[in-house]
Amino acid sequence: MIYVDEMLGTIAKWMVILGKNVRYIRGFKDDEIVNLLKPGDILITADSELCNRARKVAFCVFIKERKRLDYSLAYIFASLGEKPSLAPKFCPACGGTLKKVKKSEIKEKVPKRVYTHHRDFYICVKCRKIYWKGSHWKRIRSFYKRVLRLMKRF
């Protein structure tokens, strides 16, 4: 499991968009976080002291809180030895798995304009939220490319 520490909410959100299933931990004391970790787990945190403690049990990626978002994400993916993905996999709202659905199945559930102008739709198996590659998709794709490019620096 990949855990993302409280102060890195934007990073947690973007990791999900880029294809990683993460658990965003809020309201945990440092001790509780360390106790939660098992070998093979990954913790992403901006707290260097917590990171040092976590490293006794699991893998920890330390992120400087004020670094640029694209730079931080490139550093995280490079540290994990994995590439970000553009295929919608997990629901940014609840972390559930996204499943591709036939257009006809969601006809009644999205605005008519969206239905007419888009081809690929996904549904979250957990919260049933429907996603499509709307206008925000271009922004996600260019961000993804930037992260890929920055990864070469690490």
Where does this chain bind Zn ion (CB under 5 A)? Answer: 91, 93-94, 96, 124, 126-127, 129
First to last CA, the chain: 23
Beta bridge partners of 90: 97
Question: Is residue 31 within 8 Å of residue 18, measured between CB atoms?
Answer: no
Considering only CA atoms, give the Rg of the chain. Answer: 17
CA separation, residue 126 to residues 42, 92, 99, 134 (Å): 24, 12, 10, 21
For Zn ion, give the closer residue by CB, 128 or 145.
Answer: 128
Least distance in angstroms from the C-beta of 126 to Zn ion: 5
The secondary structure element, H or E, covering residue 25 is: strand 22-25
Nearer to Zn ion, 1 or 93 (CB): 93
CA distance 154 to 90: 26
Q: At what angle do helices 69-80 and 9-17 cross, to 10 degrees?
A: 60
Smallest separation, CB 73 to Zn ion (Å): 21
Give whichever of 57 and 130 is closer to Zn ion, judged by the CB atom: 130
Give me the least distance between CB of 110 and Zn ion, in Å please: 16
In the complex with Zn ion, the residue whose CB is nearer, 35 or 97, is 97
CB of 88 to Zn ion, least distance (A): 11
Q: How far is the CB of 37 from Zn ion (least distance, A)?
A: 25
| Identity of the residue, 51 or 130, whose beta carbon is nearer to Zn ion in the bound complex | 130
